[in-house]
Structure 1
Amino acid sequence: MRTRVAVVGGGQSCEHDVSLASAASVAGALDPTSYDVVPLTIDRDGTWRDRGLRPIGLSGAAQVLRGCDVVFPVVHGPRGEDGALAALCELAGLAYVGSGLRPGALAMDKWVTKLVAAAVGLATTPGHLVTAATAAHERWTHPVVVKPVAAGSSHGVSLVTEPAGLGPALDAALALDDRALVEDLVTAREIDVAVLRRVDGSLFVPPALEIVAAGLFDYDAKYGGHADLRVPAPLEDVEAKALKEAALTAYDALGCSGVARIDFFLTEHGPVLNEVNTVPGMTEHSQVPRMFAAAGMTYAELLDELVRGAHR
């Protein structure tokens, strides 16, 4: 008998379109001989829609979800990746793919992620928290990166290289969140590391990926094809070992499950944690599937591993 899998995409965050692409890719790649896929979509206004894109509301979605064996949430950003959908599944007693409520909420909050990372000895980018109430008191002293605390796909992220740019950058970040991070500009290699908890409970780390982009790796660079993604990343053995250990430490400290992508800056002093993504982009050409492909695991095999590792 085939396993019935509800693939949930869309959502109410600025990552709605990216999530739709991930969900469509996941739904299309799950082996039809093993899985019966049931797509569900959350509109930008929060309306749930069924396979035929008919509005069914949360109560209708709950009925559909209860008829499935596993829920595969692919909703990036707030009200999805932040643990909201994991909480829904747990309250309903449904098996689901990926991290639970606590790791989702912790990792989505970039400020809290920095605090957790520092507590377990991981280096993070120097920075501080800014709110709408304190933004007017910010003063530019050196190049910084401004970003929302809880948004993804580099929405609202700005590189500020002169005083006049600080105010607009804070406005852009605070338009998406009520808190922003102002971080020192780190000039270093950008390296992504994926960690997968396999069905048997073991952790698997495929070859790392390097992002080579001209300037800031922003939304346009990510999705406009303007970045060079190199996998396996050209790393010395000592660098690869340090990145792997740092990624495993972050994954374990946050309590992640399923697959997570941990993003680092690789400096002359070692890895510096940038952020953790518990629901990373999951099209076949996204960073995470590329890393597992470099390890010999096909996209369909990765998805199969995730579904079979679903938990309640």
Structure 2
Amino acid sequence: MKKIAVVMGGYSKEYTISIKSGKVVYENLDRKEFDPYRIYLLEDRWFMKDNKNKEYSINKQDFTIFGMKYLKFDCVFNAIHGTPGEDGILQAYFELLRIPYTGCTFHHANVTFNKKYCLTLLKYFGINTAKSFFLNQNQDFCLKKILNKVGLPCFVKPNRSGSSLGISKVYEEKNLLDAVQKAFIEDEEIIIESFLKGREVSVGVFSLKNKIIVLPITEIISQNDFFDFESKYSGKSKEITPAKLLPNIENKIRKTAKKVYKFLNLSGISRAEYILVNEEPFFLEINTVPGLSEESIFPKQLKQVGISLSDIFKNCIYSAIEKMKL
């Protein structure tokens, strides 16, 4: 029976969502094949909780449990949203220790989590994206120059952040500076993007035996001004799965989603957002550690095609173990 470390938590404001995702993974791993352990990675400490909620500290040198040297993990299931689980840091750590881990490799995680890198790469491959302007925290900038490129309304986003944290939609030039300062609280790099008017869709993708599988598409209709943190996690959005799309438009989205997964050289599960502008999909962002809680989109898409969480998690684990052998 393979010993699986289900890692959750993280160092960002997404840690509460991550703990929900990790709980779902832990509860849905087949006990006939896997012996799962709940591992919490927080900024101030790393620890394991047993079935009685007793805590045991993690030895960061070799990812073992203090007092349980006999316990060696066969694989890590990464359920951490944001840093250090989605930006490549944790992946590089497990790579050094030669412990198999689910999801994409550290350099692909780093590229996808960094909006600037990700958008630049996908533009090169011909994927539609919004007009954008990048800023570093210590960089001089001209608001008029930015708006001449992206126009109004526009979105101001932290470059490396998830769950819509630190994002603002700006309608007037006088509010742009406040939005920039708000985004800089989350990250030292930000991106300012033109507003794309259209229908927003979310697409789950995963790989199975070297075949890329695109799940049913979800349309997102937010009650708020955009699909912000509150819309995502407080029930202030309507999510329609499968989305009501004409066959030719659905086919375009599915083809684009498969291309993006391939161009970014991903593995494991992912979920990407697109805006349909004049029936053409425009890429917004991608999550290589998508939410897995009951409110999350990816599990709902799996349910539509009759794939159980247990089966998808099993596929992720065995794929990770095989990948480490290469």
TM-score by length of 2: 0.90
Query: Structure 1 residue 301 and structure 2 residue 311: aligned?
Result: yes
Match among 219, 222, 226 for residue 213 of structure 1:
222
Query: Structure 1 residue 170 and structure 2 residue 180: aligned?
Result: yes
How far, CA to CA, are the matches of 2:47 and 2:219 in structure 1? 37
| 1:62 CA displacement | 4.0
**For 1:66-145, what aligned pairs fall within 5 Å after superposition?**
67-134=72-139, 137-139=142-144, 140=147, 142-145=152-155
**Where does residue 59 of structure 1 map in the other structure?**
61
Is there any run of 5+ residues in structure 2 with no aligned partner, and where?
Answer: none
What letter corresponds to residue 288 of structure 1 in structure 2?
F
1:96-127 deviation per Cα after TM superposition (whole angstroms, max 9, x unaligned): 11111111001000111111111111000111
Could you tell me whether the CA contact under 8 Å between 2:217 and 2:242 is conserved in 1?
yes
Match among 170, 177, 185 for residue 160 of structure 1:
170
**Where does residue 50 of structure 1 map in the other structure?**
48
Give the 3 Å change call, closer, same or farther, for CA 19–27 of structure 1 in structure 2.
Answer: same
**Where does residue 202 of structure 1 map in the other structure?**
211
Query: Structure 1 residue 180 and structure 2 residue 190: aligned?
Result: yes
1:53-101 deviation per Cα after TM superposition (whole angstroms, max 9, x unaligned): 3433523734579701111011111221011111111111111111111
What letter corresponds to residue 8 of structure 1 in structure 2?
V
Could you tell me whether the CA contact under 8 Å between 1:289 and 1:302 is conserved in 2?
no
**For 1:265-276, what aligned pairs fall within 5 Å after superposition?**
265-276=275-286
How far, CA to CA, are the matches of 1:186 and 1:44 in structure 2? 36
How far, CA to CA, are the matches of 1:57 and 1:179 in structure 2? 33
Task: Name the Cα RMSD after superposition.
Answer: 1.7
SS of the counterpart of 2:274?
A: strand
Aligned length: 309
How far, CA to CA, are the matches of 1:85 and 1:37 in structure 2? 19
How far, CA to CA, are the matches of 2:191 and 2:55 in structure 1? 37
Is there any run of 5+ residues in structure 1 with no aligned partner, and where?
Answer: none
How far, CA to CA, are the matches of 1:86 and 1:298 in structure 2? 26
Could you tell me whether the CA contact under 8 Å between 1:284 and 1:299 is conserved in 2?
no
How far, CA to CA, are the matches of 2:201 and 2:17 in structure 1? 21
How far, CA to CA, are the matches of 1:162 and 1:284 in structure 2? 37
Could you tell me whether the CA contact under 8 Å between 2:62 and 2:97 is conserved in 1?
no
1:232-261 deviation per Cα after TM superposition (whole angstroms, max 9, x unaligned): 011111111111111111111111100111
Stretches of 4+ moved more than 6 A in 1? Answer: none
Could you tell me whether the CA contact under 8 Å between 1:41 and 1:53 is conserved in 2?
no
Could you tell me whether the CA contact under 8 Å between 2:103 and 2:288 is conserved in 1?
yes
1:148-178 deviation per Cα after TM superposition (whole angstroms, max 9, x unaligned): 0000000001111122321121111111111
1:177-228 deviation per Cα after TM superposition (whole angstroms, max 9, x unaligned): 1111111111111111111111x22111111111111221100110001111
SS of the counterpart of 2:63?
A: helix
How far, CA to CA, are the matches of 2:59 and 2:180 in structure 1? 35
